[in-house]
Amino acid sequence: MDISELTQFQRAQMEAILGSDSSVHFETFISDLMSSSSEAESMLDMIKQENSNLLAVKLANLLDSPHITDDSRAKCAIVLQNLFFGDDGYGWRNLSLSTRSSVQCILLNRIKIEESKSIIQNLYITLCVSLQDNKESEVRSLFNQYYDSSIYIKVIEPALSLVSQCAKQGEDLSSAPWIKDILLGALNGCSDMRLRMAALRAAIDIIQCLPSSNDKDWYQGLLPALLGTLTEALNKGEEVTAREALEHFVEFAENEPRFLRMQLVEVVATMFEIAENESLEKETRHLTIKFLITLVEAKKEAPGMMKKLPLFTSNCFAMLLKLLQDVEDEPPWNNIHKVAFWEYGNIMVGICYFDRLSRALGAKTIAPVAKEQLSACLAAPDWEKRHAALLALAVISECCPKVMLTSMEELVLNYFLNMVLNCFHDPHPRVRWAAIRAIALFSTFFCPQLQEQFHDQVLPTLAAAMADFQNPIIQNDKQMVQDAASMVFTGIAKLSKEYCRINYDTVMQYLKTAMANRNFNVLGRARAIYSISYLGFAVGKEKFRDDAKQVFYKLCPVTNTSSLVTYE
């Protein structure tokens, strides 16, 4: 309603509400607003037009009154906040300087003694909005005058929580520049990590919700402070807090990778420093690596961003290789019923992230780096490095075989295959086991090229890996190697039946020995039998007939079969 259209009765009501004789009429008016009275809402709109300065002062004074209820005080805080925001976010500019100054003093005092977090949120945001035209030094001086550190934390934390909540609910905060000042003040001007984490959460939530890249870029100045919060938590030994910050950074990398582009070198350098710090807990380092890999995977949002970063691929590859080397030659590995290689923390994470890195970068980028670094590891005297190189090579072959075959066939199938086959003779059983596992994956992902071009190299070497079956005392570590070899034979028999005939006699002899060897564990003998059945199926019954009879005779004591069924 236009203020000029007020009736005499409405004008009398307004004068009574804003009158200085008593606060009773104003308190009643607030109660009517709390009950969602349409007449009260209409009157509020008219008062804003007629005398917004007096309305602001009356609201502030009632807020500070000890006689009103908490609900009334909360309503006053909301109405005052809406008055300062206005319809365009700049309602405070319609108020006089004296009004703003009076309200600011009341709010500063009220915030110190207020106990309700929701009211503190509204009052603090209203206060920040009212100070928009003040210089930063004036605002800082004002806050230092009224608040010590404990009160500041009490005030700012609920406000940051509210800002974060508004961002998640999709509210447009692009027209609220005061938010950046709140965030910078909390991130840079406070030693309390709880408060700084609240600011970090709010900042990341806000940036993700902003509608345009220009609005997001306005917050670029926060990024060094966000990184500083993470490193400060680590410097103080608060790794739980640091991991919470890293979780938010991972979310940020997934949803807003472009925002990081302008300061990518600094961000990546900080994350590498954390990931390679062996004094930190594994969980902290793993989350940091997750952040880096998530950035690599953001190809649609930021195509080529990480590939173009100097030395990133090489450094990331080396970092993951080092994770794969974190393995001890301890007895539990030898018991295949209890533990597998991927149950070790760093190895599991390393394989997972090698998989993601290889898929995200592609073979054309990853293969040259792999050739250089894996060759060095396989030539190293430490078995852990040779073992790690084979695990990494197996993962890479699984992730991008098509590109590797079409564009780098000679590199992969000659160079890498020879590296793997040479490791079949490695003095350490875990390296031999990893080599066999790599060949198993090669036979699947490079099929039929591997079987057609390299069966003369692979099958004899694989058969030789089972020579330990001839030893009278078979140790657990050798059983792991032999068990893996038998399973690879099974896979080859499934994929390329014609090539099994070439080395049938040698392989079958080893498998039959394994099946009959009582020193071999039950699972290993069962897998040997499984491999024999597939090998027999691959070569046909004429070739398999005599061996089938021998196998059946050896199975009779196990199955309590009393009569022999003729094999036809």
Interatomic CA distance for residues 466 and 191, integer angstroms: 63
The pLDDT of 257-285, averaged and rounded, is 94
Per-residue confidence at 380, pLDDT binned at 50, 70, 90? very high
Per-residue confidence at 178, pLDDT binned at 50, 70, 90? low
Residue 470 DSSP symbol: G
**Is the Cβ–Cβ distance between 353 and 396 less than 8 Å?**
no
Model confidence pTM above 0.75: no
How much is the pLDDT for 566? 46
| pLDDT > 90 fraction of the chain, expressed in percent and rounded | 18
The pLDDT of 398-410, averaged and rounded, is 54
Interatomic CA distance for residues 444 and 397, integer angstroms: 10
Where is average pLDDT lowest: 121-135, 222-236, 418-432? Answer: 121-135
**How many residues make up the chain in this entry?**
568
Per-residue confidence at 50, pLDDT binned at 50, 70, 90? confident
300 against 311, higher pLDDT? 311
Instruction: Please determine, for residue 494, whether its predicted confidence score (pLDDT) is greater than 60.
Output: no
Amino acid at 35: S
Where is average pLDDT lowest: 7-21, 63-77, 276-290? Answer: 7-21
Interatomic CA distance for residues 161 and 169, integer angstroms: 12
Instruction: Please determine, for residue 564, whether its predicted confidence score (pLDDT) is greater than 50.
Output: no
Q: Highest mean pLDDT range out of 235-244, 500-509, 520-529?
A: 235-244
Where is average pLDDT lowest: 76-80, 135-139, 563-567? Answer: 563-567
Q: Highest mean pLDDT range out of 44-58, 236-250, 411-425, 473-487?
A: 236-250
How much is the pLDDT for 342? 45
Reading the block at residue 162, the tokens are 């509210």
How much is the pLDDT for 402? 55
Instruction: Please determine, for residue 319, whether its predicted confidence score (pLDDT) is greater than 80.
Output: yes
**Is the Cβ–Cβ distance between 63 and 80 less than 8 Å?**
yes
Per-residue confidence at 408, pLDDT binned at 50, 70, 90? very low
Interatomic CA distance for residues 474 and 470, integer angstroms: 9
Coil, helix or strand at residue 540: coil
How much is the pLDDT for 308? 86
Count CA within 13 A, CB hemisphere, residue 487: 18
How much is the pLDDT for 554? 66
Per-residue confidence at 561, pLDDT binned at 50, 70, 90? very low
The sign of the CA dihedral 19, 21, 22, 28 is negative
| pLDDT > 70 fraction of the chain, expressed in percent and rounded | 67
Q: What is the pLDDT of residues 127-173, one digit of tens each?
A: 777 766 665 555 556 665 655 556 666 666 666 766 666 666 665 66
Interatomic CA distance for residues 248 and 32, integer angstroms: 43
Q: What is the pLDDT of residues 324-350, one digit of tens each?
A: 988 766 554 544 444 444 444 788 888
Per-residue confidence at 244, pLDDT binned at 50, 70, 90? very high
162 against 288, higher pLDDT? 288
Amino acid at 252: F
Please, what is the angle between helix 264-275 and helix 223-235, to 10°? Answer: 10
As a whole number, the mean pLDDT across the chain is 76
Q: How far is CA 254 from the centre of its chain?
A: 8
Interatomic CA distance for residues 470 and 354, integer angstroms: 37
The sign of the CA dihedral 224, 230, 231, 232 is positive
| Phi and psi at residue 237, to the nearest 5° | 80, 15
Where is average pLDDT lowest: 42-51, 214-223, 531-540? Answer: 531-540
Count CA within 13 A, CB hemisphere, residue 62: 32
Per-residue confidence at 441, pLDDT binned at 50, 70, 90? confident
Interatomic CA distance for residues 505 and 259, integer angstroms: 63
The pLDDT of 426-434, averaged and rounded, is 86
The pLDDT of 87-105, averaged and rounded, is 80
Coil, helix or strand at residue 309: coil
Instruction: Please determine, for residue 32, whether its predicted confidence score (pLDDT) is greater than 70.
Output: yes
Residue 506's contacts (CB-CB under 8 Å, 6 or more residues apart) are: 460, 463
How much is the pLDDT for 341? 45
146 against 197, higher pLDDT? 197
Per-residue confidence at 522, pLDDT binned at 50, 70, 90? low
